Structures are given as C-alpha cells and as structure tokens.
Chain A
Amino acid sequence: AQSVTQLGSHVSVSEGALVLLRCNYSSSVPPYLFWYVQYPNQGLQLLLKYTTGATLVKGINGFEAEFKKSETSFHLTKPSAHMSDAAEYFCAVRNTGGFKTIFGAGTRLFVKA
C-alpha cells in the first residue's frame, strides 16, 4: 500500500532563509509525486510534480523538489522564503497507471519577518 510521511507538522523560517519541507513515500511501483499548497480559505493547488525524466523538478513561486528513489524521498525546497509562502503544504503520491492519489498530513509553513 502507498503512504506518505511528512516530517514536521509545522516549520518556521525567517524571511529570506532556506525552506526545506520533508516528504518520504512508500510505493510498490514507480510513483508519480506531487506537492500541493493550500493558502487560507482556498483549495489545494499544484505546486510541482514528478512523473518521469529529470529528477529535479521546478515548480511555481521558486519551489523545487528532487525525487530520490534510493531514499524514497521528495523533499521540497526554496532558496529564499517570502512572507507570501506562508501556507500549508501537502506531499502526495500516485501509482503510475493508477488514479488514487494519497496525501500526507501536511506541513504548515510559517515565515517570520
């Protein structure tokens, strides 16, 4: 069965500092991997995804994530945090050829001025 573990329910960084949100997954077949973001009072929206090919994936708003098969990880990073990045971030996995997307518990990012 697939599962997603996000380390840390809350992460706090200073504006301009590196953002690192951790995600580990388990999947018996090659996965599709996603990061979604939820801003207050909004639905989730896709930040970036990995399907095949290059393992370093770039998304919107300067975020990127690297698929590391050997570590079963898909950590999300951004070199310099901005106040507008404060939101909740969800890592998700889906089997290639499947339709069910499994989500992690989410990590709320706080950005301090």
Chain B
Amino acid sequence: EAGVTQFPSHSVIEKGQTVTLRCDPISGHDNLYWYRRVMGKEIKFLLHFVKESKQDESGMPNNRFLAERTGGTYSTLKVQPAELEDSGVYFCASSGGASNTGELFFGEGSRLTVL
C-alpha cells in the first residue's frame, strides 16, 4: 500500500511568488490534514478535510493560503503571494479507512524556503 506522498520535497521561491504544494493521501483515507513546522518549533495544525469538505481551517495563517481537495482525493495548498515567514516544512497527513484509530500517517513533508 502506498503511503502519503508529497510534492515537491523542496521548493525555493522569491518573496511575492506563488507556490503550490501537493499531497496524495493513502487510498481510502477520508481525512486529510495539513500541518506546518517553522524553524524547529511545534508542528502546527493548518486545516482538516473530510473528503472534499473543509472540516476545520482554524489554523490557516491568513488568506494568502488556499487549500483544496477536489474530488476528495489529492489536496493542494497554494501560497500566494509568499512571504518570508511562510518558510518551513509543510506536512500532509491522512487518516481513516476501515479502522480509524486516530493514528495519522504522514508524508515526508515539503520544505519551502522563501527568499
């Protein structure tokens, strides 16, 4: 069974540019989460999808961030325009399936550097 995959693994962009991160969850997982870790701090919750619906987006920093999950499969997280403080590692996780024990399955993360 394929795990959670994220693309790109690294992205370096200039301030003001746009970046789109993609996450493919484990097949059959209805729950998809985005998290961000900045400079060795805690892994902060951004938002939670149940299928294609946003269940909780309380952690989204501002309206420069847009997450979508069309069709309830893969998800994208777009940052437009990017600012210096957006640098960090963006993690995607999924959960659910036949036995939802609360465990999150994580991708390897997308490291974003804004110059």
Contacts and interface: CB of A to CB of B under 8 A. Distances in A.
B is a partner of A: yes
Interface of A: 4, 9, 32, 34, 36, 41-46, 49, 51, 90, 94, 99-106
B42 A106 contact: yes
A44 B93 CA distance: 9
Contact of A101 (B3, B40, B45): B45
A90 B102 contact: no
Nearest to B102: A32
Given A36-B104, A99-B31, A105-B42, 6 more contacts: A32-B102, A43-B4, A43-B109, A99-B50, A103-B42, A103-B43
Interface residues of B, number: 26
Contacts of A49: 101-103
Interface string B82-112: 0000000001010000000111101111000
B106 A45 contact: yes
Contacts, number: 57
A94 B48 CA distance: 13
Contacts of A102: 45
A99 B35 CA distance: 13
Interface of B: 3-4, 31, 33, 35, 40-45, 48, 50, 55-56, 58, 91, 93, 101-104, 106-109
A105 B4 contact: no
A92 to B, nearest CB: 8
A42 B108 contact: yes
Given A9-B40, A105-B41, A99 B56 contact: yes
Nearest to B41: A105
Contacts of B56: 99-100
Contacts of A36: 104, 106
Nearest to B107: A43
Nearest to A32: B102
Contact of B104 (A4, A41, A42, A101): A101
27 contacts: A4-B42, A32-B102, A34-B102, A34-B103, A42-B108, A43-B4, A43-B91, A43-B106, A43-B107, A44-B43, A44-B91, A45-B106, A46-B103, A49-B101, A49-B103, A51-B101, A51-B102, A90-B43, A99-B50, A99-B56, A100-B45, A101-B45, A103-B42, A103-B44, A105-B41, A105-B42, A106-B43
